[in-house]
Amino acid sequence: MTIRDLARRSQAAAGAKDREGWLGLFAEDAVVEDPVGPSPLCPDGRGHHGAAAIAKFYDTVIGMVDGMRFEIERSYLCGDEVADVGSIHITLPGGQAAQVNGVFTYRGDGAGRIAALRAYWEF
């Protein structure tokens, strides 16, 4: 299984609101930076490190939306990393729609888990 396969599993689990399935894809010491840098989702810009912090990110971000669908336009696999270019279509509570365009990178840990998910998009 390539990191691209893991990225697709991550995207599908987020879209299906499969919390345990999504969290189970990450290494214990993984990091999620979504988006990269300081933002309302991570004011210090250092990302969410480790299983507990990533679970909290899921609960406060992914778990709070009514729907999520990834549309990947291009994907570049290099070694144990992949960069996906595309959009995330989000349905917010109350039915409001949003679209996030960006580059979403995933790095594997060499043991079949995600070591890093970094999302490059603008608020």
Q: For domain 3-120, which architecture applies?
A: Roll (3.10)
Beta bridge partners, 107, equal 81, 116
Q: Max Cα separation, the chain?
A: 41
Q: Where are the domains of the chain?
A: 3-120
* pLDDT tens-digit series, residues 90-101: 999 999 999 999
Assess contact for 89 and 14: CB atoms under 8 A.
no
CA distance 66 to 28: 27
pLDDT digits (tens, 9 = 90+) for 58-103: 999 999 999 999 999 999 999 999 999 999 999 999 999 999 999 9
Q: Region 13-22: what's the mean pLDDT? A: 98
